[in-house]
Amino acid sequence: MDDEKRKPEEPAVNSPGEPVVLDPGGSSSGRWYDGVTRYQWLILIIACAGWVFDVYEGQIFNITRSDMLLEVLDGDEAAAKAWGDNFLAIFLAGGTIGGLLFGSLADRWGRRPIMIATILMYSVFSGLTYFANDIYVIGVLRFLVALGIGGEWAVAASLVAEVFPKKARAQAAGIFHASSILGTWLAALSGILVGSHWRYAYLLGVLPALLIVWVRASVKEPERWQAIRNSDVGQKSGSFRDLLLNPKWNGLAFRGMLLAAVGLGTFWSVTVAGQDLVRALLLSLGTDPEVAGAKSKFAYGIVQAAGGGAGLLAFGPLCARFGRKPTFIAYHVLALLIVPVVCFLPQTYTQMLFILPVFGFLTLGMHSGYAIYFPELFPTHIRATGASFCFNGGRLLAVPVLFFSGWLKGREDVSLQQAVWWLSSLFLVGIVVMLTLPETKQRDLVEN
C-alpha cells in the first residue's frame, strides 16, 4: 500500500515539542522492499541519478584542483594551495545558500520544478568552467555550481522520504545517499583519464542536464505535498519563520545543523585527506611525485571510496534495525578510533590500501543518515526547508573548520598525520549532539 495515501492518526508525543505521527499501515514484517511500486523505484532512480552528478561536480574539483590552479596561476604553488582551500570554503558557502533558497522554494512551489532548476544550474555552470581562464571567474562558477548542488539534495531527499512507505524509507533514503559513491568514482576516473587536461572533466558535468527531460516526464508531486498545499497549512509552506521561531522545530533544526556540520567538516578536513595521506606516504618512500599523484588518486577515488560506499549502504539497514541514534553514535565512535590508525600505522602503499576502505566506511558512511533522518524531523510544509537547513546549514558551519584545517595543515611544526588526527576530535561533538536528538525509528512522517 502506498504510504502517501494513508491517513495518519492523531499525533502522539515522543518528548516535549516533538510530535509523532504513527502509520497504522506500515507493517515491519517481510522484506523492506515488499510492496514498493514501480513508480517509487523510479523516483529513487531519478533521485540517485541527480545526486550522483551532484557529487561528481563537488569531487571533480578535489581530483583536478592541483592541475587547474597551477595552470590558471602560472605555476605558483603557494597561491594554488591557498586558493584551493578558499575554493572549498566558497563551495560550502554556495551550497548553504542554494540549499536554503531552493529547499524553501521546493516546499512552496513543488519538488519537481525546483529539482529541474537545480540540476540545470549545476550542469550549465560546471560546463562553463571549461572556458574559464581567470581565478575569479572560476570562483564565481564554483559558487554557482554549489547553489544548484545544495538545492538538489534537499529536494531529492524530501521526495524519497515522502514517496516511500515507512518500513522502506530508511533503506531507500540510504540507497539514495549511498549512490554518491558512483559520483566519486566517476570523478576519479575522469580525473585519471584526462590527466592534466582538467577542462574536459568539467565539460562532462553538462550531462546531468539530460536528466531534466526525464524528471519533467516522470516525476509527480507527492500527495502529501499536494494535500498540504491545498490546506491552510500551505500558506506557511517553506517558511523559515515557522522553522526557526516555532519551538516545535527550531531546536531540532539547530541541532540537526550541528550534527551535519560535524560530518561535513570532518569530510572535507579528514576523509578527503586520505588522498594527501597516501601521497605523503609515497613521497616519504621515495616515489616519483607524478607516480605518487596518480597512485593517491586511485587510492582515494577508487579504494577508499569503495569502503565509503559500503558504509553509506550499510547505514540504512543498520538504522532500520537498531534505530537512528545508536547507528549514528556507533559510526562516530568508530570513526574517532580509525583515524589515528590510518594516520600512523601504514608503512607501505599496500598496507594503506587495506586500511583505506575501513577508513572510508566509518568516516563517510554516517552521511547516509542525513538523508534518512533530517526529513523525518519536520512536517511536510517545511520538510525540504528543514532538511536543507540542517544539511546545508551544516556546510556553512563547516567553513571555519576548513579554514582552520588549512591553517593547521600548513604549519611547519605539525605533520599532516597529526593535523588529521586532531581534526577528527570533531566526531566527539557529533556524539554529544546525537544524544540530545529524538529517535525516529517506527515513526511516520510528521504532518503538523
pLDDT tens digits, 76-100: 877 887 787 788 778 878 888 898 8
Per-residue pLDDT at 211 exceeds 90:
no
Q: How many domains does the chain have?
A: 1
Nearest to 160 by CA among 324, 54, 313, 40: 40
Q: 321 versus 402: which is more confidently predicted?
A: 321
User: What range defines the domain where residue 414 resides?
Assistant: 35-435
Residue 13 lies in a domain: no
Phi, psi of 361 (to 5 degrees): -55, -50
In a domain, 1, yes or no: no
Count, residues in the chain: 448
SS3 letters for the chain? Answer: CCHHHCCCCCCEEEECCEEEECCCCCCCCCCCCCCCCHHHHHHHHHHHHHHHHHHHHHHHHHHHHHHHHHHHCCCCHHHHHHHHHHHHHHHHHHHHHHHHHHHHHHHHHCHHHHHHHHHHHHHHHHHHHHHCCCHHHHHHHHHHHHHHHHHHHHHHHHHHHHHCCHHHHHHHHHHHHHCHHHHHHHHHHHHHHHCCCCHHHHHHHHHHHHHHHHHHHHCCCCHHHHHHHCCHHHHHCCCHHHHHHCCCCHHHHHHHHHHHHHHHHHHHHHHCHHHHHHHHHHHHCCCCHHHHHHHHHHHHHHHHHHHHHHHHHHHHHHHHHHCHHHHHHHHHHHHHHHHHHHHHCCCCHHHHHHHHHHHHHHHHHHHHHHHHHHHHHCCHHHHHHHHHHHHHHHHHHHHHHHHHHHHHHCCCCCCHHHHHHHHCCHHHHHHHHHHCCCCCCCCECCCC
Per-residue pLDDT for 393 more than 90? no
CB atoms under 10 Å from CB of 142, counted, come to 22
Q: What angle do CA 99, 153, 149 make, to 5 degrees?
A: 65
* Cross-strand partners of 303: none
Q: Is the pLDDT of residue 173 over 60?
A: yes
Which residue type occupies 153? W
Cell numbers representing residue 192 in the block: 585519471
| Statement: residue 181 has pLDDT above 70 | yes
pLDDT one-digit tens code per residue, 268-315? 899 989 999 999 999 999 999 889 988 998 898 889 989 998 999 999
Instruction: Please give the average per-residue pLDDT across 391-412, as a whole number.
Output: 85
Reported as a single tens digit per residue, the pLDDT across 35-75 is 899 999 999 999 999 889 888 988 888 788 888 888 998 88
Longest CA pairwise span in the chain (Å): 68
In a domain, 20, yes or no: no
Mean pLDDT of 207-223: 84
What pLDDT is recorded for position 18? 40
Between 377 and 5, residue with greater pLDDT: 377
The answer as to whether 442 is a domain residue is no
Q: For residues 335 and 350, what is the distance between their CA atoms, to the nearest angstrom?
A: 21
CATH assignment at residue 347: 1.20.1250.20
- How far apart are the C-alpha atoms of 335 and 426, rounded to whole Å? 10
Evaluate if residue 247 carries a pLDDT over 50. Answer: yes
Report yes or no on 126 lying in a domain. yes
State percent of the chain over pLDDT 70.
92
Of 129 and 81, the structure prediction assigns the larger pLDDT to 129
In a domain, 130, yes or no: yes
On whether residue 309 sits in a domain, the answer given is yes
419-427 average pLDDT score: 95
Q: Mean pLDDT throughout 234-260?
A: 88
Burial, 241: exposed, middle or buried (Cβ in 10 Å; 0-12, 13-18, 19+)? exposed
Residue 13 pLDDT class (50, 70, 90 cuts): very low
Residue 413: CB atoms within 10 A of its CB come to: 5
Q: Which amino acid is at 126?
A: S
Q: Which whole number is the average pLDDT over 8-31? A: 44
The whole-number pLDDT of residue 448 equals 65
Is residue 3 situated within a structural domain?
Answer: no
Query: When comparing pLDDT for 122 and 184, which is higher?
Result: 122
* Average of per-residue pLDDT values in the chain: 86
pTM of the model: 0.79
Residue 19: phi and psi, rounded to 5, are: -70, 150
